[in-house]
Amino acid sequence: MEQTLSVVILAAGQGKRMYSSLPKVLHPLAGKPMLRQVIDAARALQPQKLCIVYGHGGDQVRAALSDIDAEWALQEQQLGTGHAVRQALPFLPAEGMTLVLFGDVPLIRSTTLQAMLQAGNGDSMVLLTDVIANPKGYGRIVRDAEERIVRIVEEKDASDAERHIREINTGIMLLPNQHLGGWLERLSNRNAQGEYYLTDVIGMAVADGVAITSANPAASWETYGVNSKVQLAELERIHQQELAKALLEQGVMLLDPARIDIRGELKAGRDVSIDVNCVFEGKVVLEDNVRIGPNCVIRNTHIGAGSEIAAFSHIDDAVVGKSARIGPYARLRPGAELAAETHVGNFVEIKKAVLGKGSKVNHLSYVGDAEIGAGVNVGAGTITCNYDGVNKHKTVIHDDAFIGSGTMLVAPVVVEQGATIGAGSTITRQVPAEKLTLERSKQVTVPGWSRPLKNK
């Protein structure tokens, strides 16, 4: 019979060394709170019960993760890891196993946690341990002559001989529920820190004849905790290096793997090239043969095959069709939908607008709340005047229209198919099909005028 799995995540710490009003577990790594990273790893195990022990900044923590289906256990006083797990006891079933994780250990992999589950037999305890060159600051794993784990000793309570042990406790452990409640009740705070150590249940397990096994992470950094902004920055770089490595192994060309940031999910097809200093946020899809120039920021966007995004372009919540050309210095805002073979050039902003196949907006223009057909050319400096100070209005430009440079399209307005608008026009009424429409005031030169002089 398959064992019931519960997961308890300890997330009550203040994080004084972060020097921030933001609770430690909410500081972002790869674009999302550390606690959410841990929750994602736990969810991959499909636990029957998920319990988060929270404390410092509790309202902020719960509000930031209000979408999480979990039990929330309040630890009003932070009296140690054993005390924290005790707060979760009322939410845990009497049988099965409980996996204890930490909200400030954000890089733990679900594969490592799965290995812990496989190392246990349903009634044993499993510790995640690691052997490191410099174990200073960590609790040491103490084994007997037959290499069986008998206890964990914290460094402040360790003897000189015990401090030379290189196998350390990561704190992550899998515990049998049938013993857990009794062990937690027997914990004592008679130690250098005056806290209730969860690690003290190891000795109790030995005394009760419960088998203790161990598993190891694939990489030591999986178990690194965050107590400062320095450590957070170090883990960010480790994580980004791993993401870059995965992209390279998939065949993506990264011109410098050390200069890319992925803060979400990036899916890339074949023969994709990404230049330096690009940031990808949310869910981004790059189809085959997409080229991303340097210094681009792309968020929640789908880019079609063969498209090229030139340098310094910002794309947010947009759809870009196949073989499009965007940038440099272009901005696509939410609701921008570009069909195949479109061009959006330098210093052009597109917002909540559709561009049909082959249409071009190449220079210094703003297109907002608009529907533009196929084969349209929008000249430099064109603006869709979509906002009257209260409401937004729509501009519709039908296929094959030509919009001269410097045109103001005062919405709501319609430009019919094949129409041409002369440069410098301010359009306020419907433009007929296949005709040239101009709107210009008479040019006047004022005789006798002189430029004013600056007062002395």
Residue 274 CA to residue 255 CA, distance in Å, equals: 6
What are the pLDDT digits (tens) for 57-84?
A: 999 999 999 999 999 999 999 899 999 9
> In the predicted model, what is the mean pLDDT of residues 6-29?
95
| Active-site residue flag, 363 | yes
- Residue indicated by tokens 């060394």: 17
Residue 434 CA to residue 437 CA, distance in Å, equals: 10
- Residue indicated by tokens 């019931």: 4
Fold for the domain defined by 5-223: Spore Coat Polysaccharide Biosynthesis Protein SpsA; Chain A (3.90.550)
> In the predicted model, what is the mean pLDDT of residues 232-258?
98
**For position 177, what pLDDT does the model report?**
95
pLDDT over threshold 50, residue 417: yes
Q: How is the chain split into domains, by residue range?
A: 5-223, 229-437
What are the pLDDT digits (tens) for 94-147?
A: 999 999 999 999 999 999 999 999 998 878 999 999 999 999 888 899 999 989
Pick from 62-71, 147-156, 257-266: least confident: 147-156
pLDDT over threshold 50, residue 239: yes
**For position 1, what pLDDT does the model report?**
41
Residue 294 CA to residue 393 CA, distance in Å, equals: 35
**For position 455, what pLDDT does the model report?**
87
CATH architecture, range 229-437: 3 Solenoid (2.160)
pLDDT confidence of 2, banded at 50, 70, 90?
low
Residue 234 CA to residue 14 CA, distance in Å, equals: 20
**For position 154, what pLDDT does the model report?**
81
Regarding beta strands 140-143 and 212-215, do their DSSP bridges make them parallel or antiparallel, or are they unpaired? unpaired
Q: In what order do the strands lie in the sheet with 402-403?
A: 253-254, 273-274, 291-292, 308-309, 325-326, 343-346, 360-363, 377-378, 402-403, 420-421, 436-437
Mean pLDDT, all residues of the chain: 95
Which is catalytic among the residues 56, 179, 302, 363? 363
406: its two tokens: 């410097």
Q: How far is CA 131 from the centre of its chain?
A: 31
pLDDT over threshold 70, residue 219: yes
User: Is residue 318 a contact partner of residue 332, using CB atoms and an 8 Å limit?
Assistant: yes
How big is the chain by its Cα radius of gyration, in Å? 31
Regarding beta strands 343-346 and 360-363, do their DSSP bridges make them parallel or antiparallel, or are they unpaired? parallel
